Structure 1
């Protein structure tokens, strides 16, 4: 019997060519969308879950919420926080480890490369049981100066993997370049890990000077702190213990009183500082909400984006299923006699229903084959958009193959259940007597409702696509407060005493207009915050509480190079000789004198409404008194989605890390080559790290561009599938009304009248779809835009929705108009003979 069902199903698929092609194409597109999203979701959600005991490993994230300050969020923690965990959470925690990652120069012979070196406590392998290719954790990582590398890095430098005993020159773990011996080799880690480890160096606290804010601190967040819970302990128990420690036993109790003064009265430490623990398996997708402006060891995923595109892919598949249901019920008149004859010959309603379900499932499995082939074709482009290297290897991945078969079966049943129930209920006597099937009004209404749903879903996707693109364009073209054209950013972290000679030789290049140093370039704001105290009163004569400012260090000429003019006062100038900060000896009681430039937001926090009123006032920063010499407009040092920070700009050469090069040449290849030659002459032991500022700024919005591209792709697919269904439905509708059209022509109707009549019939559900889709799309995209402090105006939703509505009507008219015109042009004689 089952064989007979399949044979009959195949014959009907072949017999109804257009009907089958539309359904197979639509279902293929829907299944391909689901397959691509499924590959992405599986890769993203599998991060770090291959690690032993990953369920017991977690990481501490830090959040500071200071009065009148935006929350400062980071996935890092203070250097001494591991000490607190080991001392105060012994019942909850088995062991823990701190990680610090630095970009260093690694040399082997004449070759030099920038590498990310991870420094970790000796307990690293007790938390992360990574597999060794050569060596083991007991002998390879047991004492200071041990260096463990991955197979990939060993092959890169030595051409083989067993490199234990070989040495690499590293600049600079300590004050000078050092030769470090390799003591172990790790197997290459899978792509699905947030750990970015190629070189693992045994962490030595002695390498960090006391008070430098890396390890010996409770407040400066520069390390990644992981811990492994004891068996049977839940993360909530650890969280509760750490909150009790913060409020009752931690050094932060006294620190908060010193920093906040009266504002700390009646408050707990957790009102200002929170330690948020997150499981290892959740870090990749969920750490973004705790990261603030600062990143992780590797680029973070986005759980909300995955959920969004899973829903979008399902919508495309549902639209394809609706096509099947609509076309199947529309063709009921063609199969009414078949159903009647089957029942007369003894078939039950259940057997007839199974027959139609078999057809649906067969059709879906045929579509699945096309979907897999299509996915293979588009996978390289898909990988390029999402920045992944996903592979589709069904026969090497039984779980994925089984899941696809299950999805295809469910889709087949879901798409075919309504047509099967509808067609199997026909009564033989009525059908054979009337020589046709009588379609109920409820069935026609059901088809209209499904068409409305199809187009509403498509319209929502199109509106979302346009809004995402509009916001991305707005973000990338917004006035950030400075000129970023013709700028190169050169990393100078280890130039030593060659800084000024490097600057002079770069200025000697005819293509270079200016060179100025800074602690970071635009886009590189690392959220450095410190407490500043106004020593005088504000313009109303009131004493101002200490405030926290985000701070940067800029060289002479930095603001001029970026064309930032002061609103009041002046900028840093060598003519005065008092602007620069000078280091103070540890045992000195001297008060250092220097200058500071503030932005508008900063002076408002100090109680000044006019920039000129802040000029000449003095701020205390540690043992330095800083005279406010200028006020500049607010500038977006980072992406505009992070908003504006109250910022202080100082001149401290010891903090310079980048050179900002302004150029005038159009011959970029020659310019880059000239800069590289100058670099090699001055810093021969370090590879050059040079980027265009425009590319760095564009990279800030890569997530938005990826979202926009995916929305565009899926919305186009949804519209295409919906239009194919509308085309098929209109073809059958026109076919059913052939005699009516012939009579109308005999009565004097012309082609335009008939086309208008049929187009109006299909325009009504499309217009209703717009009315239903617009509020949903506006609500969803308004919620999405809330994440951006600076965003497109909400009134843009009106022209976007109206434009999309008009577009959807035009698409519907074009889709239906062709069928309507073809039949309307026929001779009425042929139409009236139609059976």
Structure 2
């Protein structure tokens, strides 16, 4: 019986060629969308699940919520927190570890590269049981100065993996270049991990000077803190334990009283500082909500984006399934006699339904083959957009193949269940009497509703695509407050004492018009914050509470090179000789003097409505009194997604990390060669690290661009599938109305009249689809745009919606018009002979 179902199904697929092609192509597109999304979701959702005891591993994140300040969120912790919490919560915690990640120069002979080195406590391998290629956990990472490298890095420097005992020169750990011997080789970590480890160095607190804010601190957030829970302990239990310690027994209780004064009265520590723990397998997709402006060890995923594209893929598949249902029920009249004869010959309704379900499943399985082939073809482009290395390994992962077969079967049953029930209910006597068809007003209305759903879904996707693209373009075009054209950013962190000669030789290049140093360039804001106290009263004579300001260090000429002009006072100027901030020794009782520049938001925060009135006032920062010499407009040092923060700008040469190079030439290749030559002459032991500022700024919106590109791809697929269904329905409708068209032509109707008649029939569902889609799309995208402090105007939704509506109608008309025109041009004599 089942064999007969398959043979009959195959014959019907061949017999109805055009409708079978439409269904197979549509279902293949829908299944391909699901395969691509499934591969992405599978990788994103399985991050770090391969780690031993991954369900017992957690990381601690920090959030500062100070009065009258925006919350400061980060996935890092203070250096002293790990040991204190580990010892206090010993019933909940088995062990803990701190990670610090540095960008260093690594040399082997003449080969030098910038590498990311991870420094970790000796307990690292007790938490992260990483596999060894050479060496062992017991002997390779058991004492200070031990260095582990991955197989990839070993091959990069030595051309082989067994490099135990080999030496690399690392600059700079503990102040100067160090020759470090490799004690073990780790296997390369899989793609699906948030750990970014090529070099693992045994963390020595002695390498960090006391009070430098890395390890010996309760408040400066520079380390990643992990714990391994005792068996049976939940994340919630540890969270409760940490919260109790913070509020009752931690040093932060007294520190907050001293630091916040009256503001701490009646408050708990966790009203200002919270330590939140998150399971390691959840980090990749969920740490983003704790990260604030700061990044993680590797780029973070986004659970909301994953959910969105799962829904999009399912909608594309649903549109393809609707095509199958619509075309199957539309051709019911063609198969009514077949069903009637089957029943007359003894077939039950169940058997007839199984026949049609078999056809649906066979058709979907054929579509699955095309979907797998198409997925392999588009995977390279898909990976380029996502920046991943996804692979479709059907035979290496039987569960994946079984899953796809199960999904295809489910789709076949889901798409075929309604046509099967619809066709199997035909009554033989009713059908055979007078050769009646089964078509009813109910089935026609249902098809129209499904067409409306198809086009409404497609329209929502197109509007979403246009809005995301529009916001991305807007974000890149917003006036950030400074001139970013023709700028290069050169990393000088390891340039040593050669900054003066480096700067002068760069300025000697004819293509370079300005070189100025800073602690970071635009887009590199590292969220440095500190408490500043205004020594005078505000403009109303009231004492001003200490405020937290984001601070940066800029060289002379920085603002001039970025064409930022003061709105009050002046910029840093060597002629005054009083602007430089010189750090004082820890035991010094002297009060240092220097200058400071504020932005408009900081002026307002300090209680002044006018920038002119705050000029000459003094801010206290530690052992320094800083005279406010200028006020500049608010500028976006980071993506506009993060808004404007109250900021202070100082001049501390010890904090300079980058050189901002302004150039005037179209021959960029020659310029880069010249800069590299100057760099090698002045810093021969370090590889150059230079970027275009414009590229750095564009990269800030890469997530939005990726979302827009994927939306565009799936929107196009949805529209194509929906139009294929509309084409099939219109072809069938024209076929059924051939006699009517012939009679209309005999009665005087011309081709245009007939085409208009048929086009209007299919225009109504598209118009209704637009009316449904517009509010859904507008509401969804307005919700998405809320995450941007600066966003496109709501008025743009009007032309976007109208434009998409007109486009959808044009597509529908083109789809239907071709079929209608072909039939309308035929001789009515042939139409009236049509059986």
If the TM-score is normalised by the length of the shorter chain, which range does it land in? over 0.9
- Report the 3-state secondary structure (helix = DSSP H, G, I; strand = E; otherwise coil) of the residue aligned with 1:145: coil
CA distance in 2: counterparts of 1:229 and 1:334, whole angstroms: 67
- CA RMSD in angstroms comes to 0.8
CA distance in 1: counterparts of 2:80 and 2:281, whole angstroms: 25
- Report the 3-state secondary structure (helix = DSSP H, G, I; strand = E; otherwise coil) of the residue aligned with 1:194: coil
- Report the 3-state secondary structure (helix = DSSP H, G, I; strand = E; otherwise coil) of the residue aligned with 1:593: strand
CA distance in 2: counterparts of 1:157 and 1:807, whole angstroms: 57
After TM superposition, the structure 1 stretch with the greater mean CA deviation from structure 2, 571-580 or 386-395, is: 386-395
Matches for 1:536-615 after TM superposition, within 5 Å: 536-615=536-615
Q: Give 1:438 shift.
A: 3.0
CA distance in 1: counterparts of 2:580 and 2:672, whole angstroms: 31
Aligned match of 1:321: 321
CA distance in 1: counterparts of 2:778 and 2:290, whole angstroms: 27
Aligned match of 1:276: 276
Match status 1:392 vs 2:386: no
Q: Give 1:248 shift.
A: 0.7
CA distance in 1: counterparts of 2:656 and 2:600, whole angstroms: 24
Aligned match of 2:266: 266
Aligned match of 1:337: 337
Matches for 1:367-446 after TM superposition, within 5 Å: 367-446=367-446
- Report the 3-state secondary structure (helix = DSSP H, G, I; strand = E; otherwise coil) of the residue aligned with 2:37: helix
Match status 1:663 vs 2:671: no
CA distance in 1: counterparts of 2:511 and 2:282, whole angstroms: 49
Aligned match of 1:290: 290
Aligned match of 1:497: 497
Aligned match of 1:744: 744
CA distance in 1: counterparts of 2:258 and 2:695, whole angstroms: 43
Aligned match of 1:215: 215
Q: Give 1:137 shift.
A: 1.4
CA distance in 1: counterparts of 2:639 and 2:340, whole angstroms: 67
CA distance in 1: counterparts of 2:153 and 2:827, whole angstroms: 78
Aligned match of 1:110: 110
- Report the 3-state secondary structure (helix = DSSP H, G, I; strand = E; otherwise coil) of the residue aligned with 1:195: coil
- Report the 3-state secondary structure (helix = DSSP H, G, I; strand = E; otherwise coil) of the residue aligned with 2:113: strand
Matches for 1:132-211 after TM superposition, within 5 Å: 132-211=132-211
> 1:276-317 CA distances to partner (integer Å, 9 max, x unpaired)?
111010011111111111100011111111110111011000
Matches for 1:727-806 after TM superposition, within 5 Å: 727-806=727-806
- Report the 3-state secondary structure (helix = DSSP H, G, I; strand = E; otherwise coil) of the residue aligned with 1:172: strand
- Report the 3-state secondary structure (helix = DSSP H, G, I; strand = E; otherwise coil) of the residue aligned with 1:544: coil
Aligned match of 1:246: 246
Aligned match of 1:454: 454
> 1:326-379 CA distances to partner (integer Å, 9 max, x unpaired)?
000000111011001100100000000000000000000000000001111111
- Report the 3-state secondary structure (helix = DSSP H, G, I; strand = E; otherwise coil) of the residue aligned with 1:171: strand
- Report the 3-state secondary structure (helix = DSSP H, G, I; strand = E; otherwise coil) of the residue aligned with 1:90: coil
CA distance in 1: counterparts of 2:307 and 2:84, whole angstroms: 37
Q: Give 1:739 shift.
A: 1.2
CA distance in 2: counterparts of 1:48 and 1:434, whole angstroms: 68
Match status 1:515 vs 2:515: yes
Match status 1:28 vs 2:28: yes
After TM superposition, the structure 1 stretch with the greater mean CA deviation from structure 2, 246-255 or 632-641, is: 246-255
Answer yes or no: is the 8 Å Cα contact 2:83–2:96 preserved in 1.
no
Aligned match of 2:77: 77
CA distance in 2: counterparts of 1:160 and 1:739, whole angstroms: 79
CA distance in 1: counterparts of 2:782 and 2:254, whole angstroms: 43
- Report the 3-state secondary structure (helix = DSSP H, G, I; strand = E; otherwise coil) of the residue aligned with 1:323: helix
Matches for 1:677-756 after TM superposition, within 5 Å: 677-756=677-756
Q: Give 1:437 shift.
A: 1.4
> 1:212-243 CA distances to partner (integer Å, 9 max, x unpaired)?
11001111100000000000001100000000
Q: Give 1:766 shift.
A: 0.7
> 1:589-630 CA distances to partner (integer Å, 9 max, x unpaired)?
000000000000000000111111110010000110000000
CA distance in 2: counterparts of 1:118 and 1:379, whole angstroms: 33
Q: Give 1:757 shift.
A: 1.2
- Report the 3-state secondary structure (helix = DSSP H, G, I; strand = E; otherwise coil) of the residue aligned with 1:454: helix
CA distance in 1: counterparts of 2:621 and 2:202, whole angstroms: 34
Q: Which runs of 5+ in 1 are unaligned?
A: none
- Report the 3-state secondary structure (helix = DSSP H, G, I; strand = E; otherwise coil) of the residue aligned with 2:654: helix
CA distance in 1: counterparts of 2:377 and 2:138, whole angstroms: 47
CA distance in 1: counterparts of 2:436 and 2:388, whole angstroms: 55
CA distance in 2: counterparts of 1:606 and 1:561, whole angstroms: 28
Q: Which runs of 5+ in 2 are unaligned?
A: none
CA distance in 2: counterparts of 1:236 and 1:600, whole angstroms: 42
Q: Give 1:168 shift.
A: 0.7
Q: Give 1:259 shift.
A: 2.4
- Report the 3-state secondary structure (helix = DSSP H, G, I; strand = E; otherwise coil) of the residue aligned with 1:580: coil
- Report the 3-state secondary structure (helix = DSSP H, G, I; strand = E; otherwise coil) of the residue aligned with 2:645: coil
TM-score, length of structure 2 as denominator length:
0.99
Q: Give 1:145 shift.
A: 0.7
CA distance in 2: counterparts of 1:769 and 1:258, whole angstroms: 63
Q: Give 1:258 shift.
A: 2.3
Aligned match of 1:17: 17
CA distance in 1: counterparts of 2:581 and 2:689, whole angstroms: 27
Aligned match of 1:640: 640
Match status 1:482 vs 2:482: yes
Q: Give 1:87 shift.
A: 2.0
CA distance in 2: counterparts of 1:371 and 1:802, whole angstroms: 34
CA distance in 1: counterparts of 2:391 and 2:541, whole angstroms: 67
CA distance in 2: counterparts of 1:272 and 1:783, whole angstroms: 29
- Report the 3-state secondary structure (helix = DSSP H, G, I; strand = E; otherwise coil) of the residue aligned with 1:106: strand
CA distance in 2: counterparts of 1:157 and 1:516, whole angstroms: 35
Q: Give 1:436 shift.
A: 2.7
Q: Give 1:742 shift.
A: 1.5
> 1:409-466 CA distances to partner (integer Å, 9 max, x unpaired)?
0000000000000001111111111213131211111101100000000000000000
After TM superposition, the structure 1 stretch with the greater mean CA deviation from structure 2, 162-171 or 567-576, is: 162-171
CA distance in 1: counterparts of 2:568 and 2:472, whole angstroms: 33
Match status 1:47 vs 2:47: yes
- Report the 3-state secondary structure (helix = DSSP H, G, I; strand = E; otherwise coil) of the residue aligned with 1:101: strand
Answer yes or no: is the 8 Å Cα contact 2:336–2:438 preserved in 1.
no
Match status 1:649 vs 2:649: yes
- Report the 3-state secondary structure (helix = DSSP H, G, I; strand = E; otherwise coil) of the residue aligned with 1:395: coil
> 1:377-421 CA distances to partner (integer Å, 9 max, x unpaired)?
111001000001111121111011000000000000000000000
- Report the 3-state secondary structure (helix = DSSP H, G, I; strand = E; otherwise coil) of the residue aligned with 2:713: helix
